[in-house]
Structure 1
Amino acid sequence: MTDIATTRWPGIARAPRTPLKARVAKAILKPTVNHVPVRLTFANGSTWGAGGADSPEMRVVRPKSFFARLGADTKIGFGEAYMAGDWTTGTGTDLADLLEPFAARMATIVPVPLQRFRVFVDKKLPHHQRNSVKGSRKNIEAHYDLSNDLFAQFLDPTMSYSSAWFESPEQDLEAAQLRKIDAILDDANVTAGTRVLEIGSGWGALAIRAAQRGATVTTITLSSEQAALARQRFVEAGVDVDLQLVDYREVTGEYDAIVSVEMIEAVGEEYWATYFAKIDQLLAPGGRVAIQAITMDHHRYLATRNSYGWIQKYIFPGGLIPSLDAIDQTLGDYTGLTVTNRRSLGQDYARTLHEWRDRFTTNWEAVRVQGFDETFRRMWEFYLAYCEAGFRTGYLDVYQLAMGRPTEV
C-alpha cells in the first residue's frame, strides 16, 4: 500500500482504536449485507453478502481497520476506509456497480430497531462550515480552488461541472452540456437585450452562451481560481461579461433573468430563505428564474438535514441537498415566486458522473503530477462513483426548475 501522508490525511493515515465499536459495527454489518446482492470477500476466504459469483465484489483488505473506521463513525468511516485502502473492489467490479445496491437500500439498510439510535450517530454540521458570507467563501475555496487543471482533466471542453442533458445515447458530453445550458436559458427567456444575472459562474460556459444570444450578462462567483479562467475564456470567446467576485447576498440591481446551476446545494438550509428572497428582490417585473438543483425525496431530506457525512467532510463543506417540497415551501413562505416547470435529469447525471470518472481515471497521471496523491485519487473516485450510484437508483435526482411570479406568468 502507498504510504499515506500523515500531515495531509491525519484521519486516514491511522485507523481509530475503538475495539468495542468495531465489534458492534461488524455484528451489525454482517446480517445487514446478507440481504444485499453483493459479495464481501476476506483474505481468510470467508464471504458475506447475498450476491452470487457474478455480483459486485467488495474485497476487504484490512478487516481490523475497516471495522474500526465503520464503528468510530458510521456515516464517514465507510468512505474513509476506501480512501485508506482498507477495502477495494474485486477484479472486474466497477465501484459504482458495487455502491448501487447499497444506495438503493439507503433508507432501510440499517435495521429498523436500530434507526432509533440515529440521534446518537449523526453529527451536526461544524460551525466553521456554516454558509455565512465569510463561511461560504471558505467552503467554495476548499473545493473549487483546488486547481483549474485538475477539473480540466475530467470535464468536457465547456468546463461544465454539473449534469448534462443527453438527447441520445450517441450524443457526446460536450453537446449534452450545451443542450443543458440552452434549456436553462430558454426557461429564463434569455434573448438579445435580456439583463441576465448568473449566481455561480463556474468556468463561464453559461455566461458565454448567454452573451452569444445578445444578452447583457453579470455573473458572480466566490472562487478566484474559477474567476481567473472564466475571464480568460470570455476573451477567447469574444464576449463581454461582467464577472464579479461577490456573494449573492451582496448583489444589487435589477435583472430580467436570473439563472443558477447547482449552486443551491452550497447555500445551506439556514440561508435558503435569504437566497430565494434575494432572487425575488433582484428580479425585474415579468422576469424569469431558472435553476438547476440536485434534490432528494422529502423524507430523506428530513432524515439527513441535520447530519454531517463524508461528502461534507471531504468534498463539499457546508453542502446540503434540498427536496422539491422544501424549495416550494421556501418560495411560498419568503417570495412571490412559484415553480412553473420541472425537468428531471437524474439519469443524465448518472451518465455524466460516469464519464467524468472515466476521464479522471484515464488522465490520473496528469492529475498526479500536479501534486495530488493516491489518497486523493481514491477519495475522488469514491466521490464520483458514490454520486453516480445515488442518481442511478433515484436516491438523488436533479431538476431544472423554471420560476416566475404567478401574476406575471
Structure 2
Amino acid sequence: MTQVEPRPAARHRPGGHRAAHVDADRWPDVAAVPRASWPVRAVTQAVLERALRRLPLRMRFPDGTTLGLGGPLVEVRNPEAFHARIGTRGLIGFGESYMAGEWDAPDLVGALTVLAAHAADLIPPRLQRLRGLWAQRQPLTQRNTPDGSRSNISRHYDLSNDLFALFLDETLTYSSAVFRGFPADWSLLAAAQHRKIDRLLDLAGVGEGARLLEIGTGWGELALRAAARGAYVTSLTLSREQRDLALDRVRAAGHADRVSIELCDYREARGTYDAIVSVEMIEAVGAEFWPVYFRTLDERLAPGGRAALQAITMPHERMLASRDTHTWIQKYIFPGGLVPSTQAIEQTVHEHTGLDMAARDGFGAHYAETLRLWRERFTDRADEVAALGFDETFRRLWTFYLAYSEAGFRSGYLDVQHYLFTKERSAR
C-alpha cells in the first residue's frame, strides 16, 4: 500500500536556519525557521511573558529562566526559533515548533489543557482587535466545494487504513465513544463505541425495515450495526481507502444485501429515508456550506423521519473569532474543517430547514477519554507507525494533534453533542 504524508499547501522562503533533522521536501514549513525581525521576536516574547504571569504553567528556557505560576512544564529548547515561529505564524508556528522539536512537555496534554482553558485571553485585547491584520486567512483552495471536499477528505482519511488500525480499536470507529464510567480502559473501548452507535441508532429510530442514510461512512461499523437490526443502509463517503475496507467488512459480515456504500458527496444524495445518521461530519462541511448540509438532511428525510447527529462544538464567540483564520489543525490535519457552535447549528437548522430540534445532549468528557486511549495507543505503537513509512515529524505531528484535541475537551473549550432532529408528517 502506498503511504501518503500530508504536505503543506505552499512552500515558504527559507528563514534564518533550518531544522536539519526535518525532511524539507515533506515538511518545508517545519524545516525552515521563518525570518523574524528583532521587533517581532521582542513583541512575541513580551506577549508570552505577559500571558505566563497569569497562567498555571511553567515555561523553562535553556539559560535556566522559568516563567509562569507553576503547573505543567514546557521546555523550550530553541528560544530564537520558538519566538520567530510564533511571531510570524501564531498558533500555526507554535505547532510547527513542536513538530520541529524546538519545545516539548513531559505532560503535553496538561500543558495544552492550560492553554486551551485560557484561549480567549492569551492575546491582549488590543492585539485581538487587530486579528485580521496578523492572523493567516484560510486558503481558498480549501473551500469545501464538491471537488474541494474530495481533496480535503483524502488528505486525512486516505493516509493509510493500516495507520488508523494501529491506534483505533477493532471496530475502527474514529469518533467519540460513550463510556459507563471514568477512567476508561482500552479493553472497554470497543463496547463504548458500540454503546455510542446504538444510542444514535435508537435516537433515529432505526429498526427492522428502516431506510437509513448515513452521511460519512468511516470504516463501516455503524452501517454494520444498523444492518444487523434489519435496516437497509445507504452510506456516503468521499474516502476511497475507507470505502474499500468498509465494503470488505460488509461482505465479510454477510450484509451486502442490506448495505450500499457509495463514493458520493452529501450534496449528490438522492431518494428519501426514514432516518439519517451523521457522525462528526459537520466539522468537515465548512460554515459556507452549513445551510446546504442541513437542507440536504431536510430534503432526504421522509415526513415523520428522524435525523441523529454527533457533532463536535466550540463556544460561539470563539467560533466567530476564529472562523476565517487558518489554523494549525486545518493546515496539517483537517484542511477546510471548522468546528461549529451549538448556536450556529441550531440557528442554521431554524433558518434553512423545516426540521425541529427534539433533543441535544453533550458528553465532552467521554471524548477526552477516547482521545487519551487513542494517544496512548499511538505512542505505544510508534515503532509500527515508523515501519509504515511515517517519519519522526509525522509522529510528532500526530502526537500533538491527539494531545491538542484531548486538551480541548478536558478544558471544556470543546464539547461533543448528540442531536435529534425530526420532520413533521405530511398533512393528510
Structure 2: runs of 5+ lacking an equivalent: 1-18
Contact 2:312 2:414 in 1 (8 A): yes
| Residues 116-138 of structure 1 deviation map (CA, whole Å, 9 limit, x = unaligned) | 12111222211110000000000
Please name the residue that 2:141 is paired with: 128
1:86 aligns with 2:102: yes
Q: Distance in 2 between matches of 1:391 and 1:232?
A: 34
What CA RMSD, in Å, does the superposition of the two structures yield over aligned residues? Answer: 1.2
- CA drift of 1:405 comes to 2.3
Q: In the alignment, what sits opposite 2:66?
A: 47
| Residue equivalent to 1:110 | 123
8 Å CA contact 1:200, 1:263 repeated in 2: yes
- Displacement of 1:404 after TM fit? 0.5
* Mapped partners of 1:34, 1:145: distance in 2: 43
Mapped partners of 1:2, 1:259: distance in 2: 47
SS of structure 2 residue aligned to 1:325? helix
Per-residue deviation, 1:285: 1.1
| Equivalent position amino acid for 2:234 in 1 | T
Residue pair 2:364, 2:415 contacting (<8 A) in 1 also: yes
Contact preservation (8 Å) 2:20, 2:31: no
Structural mapping, 1:133-152, within 5 Å: 133-152=146-165
1:300 and 2:313 are equivalent in the alignment: no
Q: TM-score, normalised by structure 1?
A: 0.96
Q: Could you tell me which residue of structure 2 aligns to residue 281 of structure 1?
A: 299
Structure 1: 4+ residue segments shifted above 6 A: none
Give the secondary structure class of the aligned counterpart of 1:153.
helix
**Cα pair 1:164 1:348 within 8 Å, conserved:** yes
Partner residue of 2:50?
A: 31
Q: How far off is 1:333 after superposition?
A: 1.2
Encode CA deviations 1:79-110: one digit per residue, 9 max, x unaligned: 01000011001xxx321011111111011111
2:399 counterpart residue number: 381
State which of 330, 340, 352 in structure 2 corresponds to 1:312. Answer: 330
SS at match of 1:291: strand
Once residues 397 and 149 of structure 2 are traced to their aligned partners in structure 1, the CA distance between those partners, rounded to angstroms, is: 22
Percent identity for Structure 1 against Structure 2: 53
Residue number in structure 2 paired with 1:12: 30
2:7 aligns with: none
Q: Tell me, what secondary structure is at the counterpart of 2:417?
A: strand
Residue in structure 2 matching 1:177, options 187, 190, 193? 193
Give, in angstroms, the shift of residue 35 of structure 1. Answer: 1.0
Give yes or no for the alignment of 1:164 onto 2:177. yes
Q: Is the 8 A contact 1:133 1:247 kept in 2?
A: yes
CA offsets, 1:38-62, max 9 Å, x none? 11111111111111xxx21100001
1:2 shift after superposition: 7.3
1:336 to 2:354 alignment: yes
**Alignment partners' CA distance in 2, 1:271 and 1:133:** 10
Please report how far the alpha carbon of residue 113 of structure 1 lies from its aligned counterpart in structure 2 after TM superposition.
2.7
Please report how far the alpha carbon of residue 406 of structure 1 lies from its aligned counterpart in structure 2 after TM superposition: 5.2
**Deviation string for 1:268-317 (max 9, x for gaps)?**
11111111111111111111000100001111111111111100000000
Give 1:392's aligned residue: 410
- The number of equivalent residue pairs is 402
Query: 2:264 aligns to what SS in structure 1?
Result: coil
Q: 2:420 aligns with which of 378, 402, 408?
A: 402
What is the TM-score normalised by the length of structure 2? 0.92
Q: Are the equivalent residues in 1 in contact too, given 2:89–2:136 (CA < 8 A)?
A: no
Match of 1:22 among 41, 57, 60: 41
